[in-house]
Amino acid sequence: MSRTLSFARLDYLTIKPYLTLKSMTLLLIVIAFVSFGTGEASMLIGMLMMYGTIYASYPFAVGEKNGIDTLYATLPLKKSNIVAGRYIFAIFLNISTGAVAFAVSAIIMPVLREGFNWKETLITVIICLFIFSVLESIQLPIYFKFGYAKAKFLAYLPLAFFPAAVITISAVAGKENSLEFLNNVILWAGENVLLTVIIAVVLWMLLLLSSGLLSYRFYKDRQF
């Protein structure tokens, strides 16, 4: 386990040089632009966490450019340490950008609108966390299989499917039956908060676990 965590830290060190003042400033400008333009907390949170997801692919990009797989091969590291470490790094990145997004909303929203609804914001952050986890669960195995350069295009395809998925879901939801079903689900969730949270967490973990296992299978066979 400690090797896996050390590897997650190595991933952080890999992208650290790219967390520069310049890129952070750029990020701030984007935040300012989005928040003043839309006044919507959810847009702001989505944008910020999107950044987190992009950074989650940086260890692949930066590593490949620098031949870092050779470094991994010189260290007492199992391939399972590498895969698990990278997932931990990605999750850590998502959660910390989520926390930042929450904090930024708490600061900016009262200025833009009359108030800050922390409950609503928290739910938005969690939903975003879920969505981006799904995206990463698809992306990481692709990167592990093909490497960054080859997979770059492929890995961003799911992103293009998102709007399509949203449209499909809303179309389905538009029908009366499903609307009723959805309402029931929301109602049930409202009544059983704890159970809902547990189910959500379990689903989230299952998703990451199966994605991780797939990544490991791909990466194990990879030669350099």
Partner 1 sequence: MNNILEISHLNKRYEEFLLQNVSFSVPQGYIMGFIGPNGAGKTTTIKSILGMVYPDSGTVKILGSEISSENTEIKDDIGVVMDLPFYVDEWKIKDVEAAVSPFYSRWNSKVFADFVRKFGLIQNKKVKELSRGMKVKLMLAIALSHEAKLLILDEPTSGLDPVARDELMDILRDYMLDETKGILFSTHITSDLEKIADYITFIINGKIVFTGQKDKLLESYFLVKGGISDLNSLQKKLIIGYREHSAGFEGMIKAENIGMLPENIIFEKISLDEIIIYMNKEGTSHE
Q: Which residues bind partner 1 (CB under 8 A)?
A: 2-3, 6, 9-10, 13-14, 16-18, 62-63, 65-71, 73-80, 220, 223-224
Q: How many other CB atoms are found less than 10 A from the CB of residue 179?
A: 12
Nearer Cβ to partner 1, position 113 or 220?
Answer: 220
Q: Minimum Å distance from CB 217 to partner 1?
A: 12
Q: Minimum Å distance from CB 91 to partner 1?
A: 20
Q: How many other CB atoms are found less than 10 A from the CB of residue 11?
A: 25
Q: 20 Cβ partners below 8 Å, 6+ apart? A: none
Q: 43 Cβ partners below 8 Å, 6+ apart? A: 34, 35
Nearer Cβ to partner 1, position 76 or 174?
Answer: 76
Nearer Cβ to partner 1, position 83 or 128?
Answer: 83
Nearer Cβ to partner 1, position 72 or 116?
Answer: 72
Rounded (10°) CA dihedral 120, 124, 126, 128? 180
Q: Which H or E run contains 178?
A: helix 176-191
Nearer Cβ to partner 1, position 134 or 145?
Answer: 145
Q: Minimum Å distance from CB 121 to partner 1?
A: 35
45 close to 124: Cβ distance less than 8 angstroms = yes
Amino acid symbol at 78: K
Residue corresponding to tokens 């973990």: 205
Q: Minimum Å distance from CB 55 to partner 1?
A: 15
Q: Minimum Å distance from CB 50 to partner 1?
A: 24
Nearer Cβ to partner 1, position 71 or 157?
Answer: 71
For the chain, the first-to-last Cα distance in angstroms comes to: 25
Q: Minimum Å distance from CB 63 to partner 1?
A: 8
